[in-house]
Structure 1
Amino acid sequence: MTESRFKSLIKAKNVVYITVKNKDYIRTRQLERILSENAASVRVYSSEKKTPLKRALNIRRRLGKISFEGVDVIVVGFLPQLILDKVIDIAFGDRAVDIAAGKRDSFKLQVVADMFLSLYDTVVWDRKLVRPGGLLARFCKELDRRTVEEADLVLTDTRADADYFAKEFEGEREKFEVLYLEAEIDCYDKKEAESTEVKRVLYFGTGLPLQGTDIVADAFRILISENNSVNVVHISDYLSENKKDICCEIKCIFIGSTKYMSKEQQSFITSGQVEYHEWLTEPELIEQIEKADICLAGHFKAEIDKADRTIPGKAFIYEALGKKMILADTTANREIFKPDDRHIFVRRGSGEALSECIRKSLV
């Protein structure tokens, strides 16, 4: 196996890791662990502000107080596009202009951009916050392009994203390295779900458009309404002939935001027919996952290209806990997951297809 360039770069080096994300985020934890295991020393700077813009502004205000003396590698994480210019200005001083011009060969200090997402792709095509081709869209794309250009190494969490970033932002593909997400297993107490007559189907998420929470809502509605009985789903159609016809009682659990659902879908999720939690603490969330029989991973939105290139972070948590999961059949998911008894694939964009997949998985 080829040794990771990232791990080689940080091996026995003094590293500063600055991330536009909170300290408990799955990617922050993962990189901090890797740095602690490989680097000679590591200092981590993160932000607990609520939004990406507020976190970026908070980090930018604090950068002047960070010492880069004796530092060999700077890792800039999650949204490096929002702070990399100032990191380079402060860390490289008068030499920053050479960095912007692409003159890097004589510098010992190395910069790694953990490009967890594209600013342009996210605000234009995923969230649809700005008009394609407009001034703000072009500005976001330029920030992405400059990040790719100015970093010595760019980390992504899928090959599909690395291919897209290299093509869209004019970067050399060799500059990219894939570092798949990993849930910190030590954080979780892996337990088997208790065997009960009620089958629990769980989904959690922040409600971002690419996640397809509207698809999940449609699937839950079909499961519950098709027999005109709340939480009772017949699965006899999927049983072999030598088994008796039975029905399976299920409980649908939805945890997270309903922001990108229709009003009808929101009303259904919060009606009491589904066990709904707007927010849970991490221990409470892990407890819910442990009790689940099937966990929905996604991403289920068919109209958003980013969903095809991204592996949902929740899939790694499910994997760490040994849970059966349903994944969208995407390019990114198939990079590391293979269809088997614990990893079931379903086509994106259809609540009907997802509900049928859940029913089959209950057998």
Structure 2
Amino acid sequence: MPKETVLFICTEKESYPRNNQIVKSLHDNFEVIKITSDKSSYPLRIIEVVARLALSALFRNYSLVFAGFLGQPLVFIIKFFTKKPLILDAFVSAYDVLCLDRQDFKPGSFVGKIAYHLDELSFRLADTIITDTRSNADFFSKLFKIKRRKFYTLYMGTDENIFYPRETKINNDKCIVFFHGTFWSLHGIEYIIKAAKLLEDSTDILFRLLGGGREKIKMIKLTKELNLKNVEFIDWVSYQNLSCRIAESDICLGGHFSNNEKAKRVISGKTIQYLAMKKPVIAADSPAAKELFTHAENIYLCAMADEKSLAKAIIELKGNAALRDKLARSGFELFKNRLSAQQSRNRLNEIIRDNRKS
């Protein structure tokens, strides 16, 4: 029996982790027509995928449309070209990112209003909306006045061909506390640096921060002002090299450690990667984290925006090998049972089945 065909379209590159997760999950049970673009310019990517969508609407057969990461600008166009059911992955909200999280624009500004109405219209037109946590679904439902029953949760996964358990510890004299990510205020990297200050007398602890972004220079400056010798910064590396860096680490910091409202609603992708590599993880004690994790069972939770709580968590894990091993093993089991590629495929199939019934 031939597989059902799904059309997948997005404005971000297919290689983006969330898109990659969705496409791989779809391929297992569906024939997938992919409309994506690798162009570096966002406007050019939109032009390319819209042109290819128009051709697909005329000459290709499919039963369902799946709009991937940052698909909101495409929803109205998709609905113009086809009446097929539409699933929107609302992994991010333009309004949430621009006005509430990064605060590049005020909510009442022209750009803020455009972003709000873009999200609101796309959510109303979509038949089903997917978010990465239940907390985000609750928030978007209330913010944009969309019925909660339209929302489904698909937790973030990771590439298990890259992120898997391995032993490559090369420096037994240092306890490596590792973080990687984009240096945005959401992540609360300043609390990691302030925790490093509190622990500077523990000369066997090294904080390794990998990544880049708009606040990296600010964080380097803070480190110099505090005269820290126990923090090192590393620029972005390939995913393969990133997994090696994780494997070298003793304790991994999942975040998000800021007091940002969005930080309370999301689970970082890095947290999932660390769990997949069987590492003990410290994350912030947020409503989103509690959807999946139990403190001191499969993860260690510390208070948000609190360097003292983070420093205390690091010291406890450093001095308790049995607890580190327990968190690593239980966290890895949770990953396999709730967040693996197979679980992602199963969950996506459930969402698509429910979409057909509605």
Q: Is this a same-fold pair by TM over 0.5?
A: yes
Deviation at 1:291, TM superposition (A): 1.0
The amino acid across from 1:313 in the alignment is G
**Bigger radius of gyration among the two:** 1
How is 1:233-312 mapped onto 2 (pairs within 5 angstroms)?
233=203, 249-257=204-212, 259-260=214-215, 263=218, 265-266=220-221, 268=223, 273-302=230-259, 304-312=260-268
1:185 aligns with 160
Counterpart of 2:349 in structure 1 is none
Amino acid at match of 2:177: V
Residue 197 of structure 1 corresponds to which residue in structure 2? 173
The alpha carbon displacement at 1:257 in A equals: 1.8
TM-score scaled by length of structure 2: 0.81
Q: 1:221 to 1:60 in 2, by over 3 A?
A: farther
Query: Using a 3 Å threshold, how does the CA distance of structure 1 residues 65 and 218 change in structure 2: closer, same or farther?
Result: farther
Deviation string, structure 1 residues 55-79 (Cα, Å, up to 9, x no partner): 4455345544444631111100111
Which sits farther off after the overlay, 341-350 or 62-71?
A: 62-71
1:120 aligns with 2:95: yes
Asked if the contact 2:190–2:219 (Cα under 8 Å) also holds between the matched residues in 1, the reply is no
Do residues 207 (structure 1) and 183 (structure 2) align? yes
String of CA shifts for 1:288-328, please: whole Å, max 9, x gaps.
Answer: 001111000011110x2111001101111111111100010
- 1:216 aligned onto 2:192: yes
1:26 aligns with 2:2: no
- On the 8 A contact 2:253/2:283 being kept in 1, the answer is yes
Spell out, residue by residue over 1:154-195, the C-alpha distance to the aligned partner (whole angstroms, 9 max, x if none). Answer: 011100111111111111111111111111323334203538
Q: Which amino acid aligns with 2:8?
A: Y
- Cα-to-partner distance string for 1:192-231 (whole Å, 9 max, x where unaligned): 353823211100001122111222222223322xx2xxxx
Taking the TM superposition and a 5 Å limit, the aligned residue runs for 1:57-96 are: 58-60=48-50, 62-67=52-57, 69-89=60-80, 91-92=81-82
Farther-moved stretch of structure 1 (22-31 vs 119-128): 22-31
Pairwise CA distance, 1:342: 4.6
Tell me, yes or no, if the aligned pair for 1:308 and 1:331 is still in contact at 8 Å. yes
Gaps of 5+ in 2: 320-358
Residue 339 of structure 1: how far off its partner (Å): 1.5
Secondary structure of 1:188's aligned partner: coil
Alpha-carbon distance between aligned partners in 2 of 1:356 and 1:54, rounded to the nearest angstrom:
48
What is the CA–CA distance in structure 1 between the aligned matches of 2:181 and 2:146, rounded to whole Å? 32
User: For 1:143 and 1:67, how far apart are their aligned partners in 2?
Assistant: 23
Residues 218, 265 of structure 1: 8 Å contact kept:
no
| Partner SS for 1:202 | strand
Query: In the alignment, residue 44 of structure 1 is paired with which amino acid?
Result: K
Cα distance in 1 for residues equivalent to 2:51 and 2:66 = 18
Distance in 1 (CA, whole Å) between partners of 2:52 and 2:175 is 49
* Rounded Cα–Cα distance in structure 1 between residues aligned with 2:139 and 2:91: 13
Q: Is the 8 A contact 1:17 1:76 kept in 2?
A: yes
Identity of aligned residues (%): 27
For 1:79 and 1:352, the matched residues in 2 are separated by 36
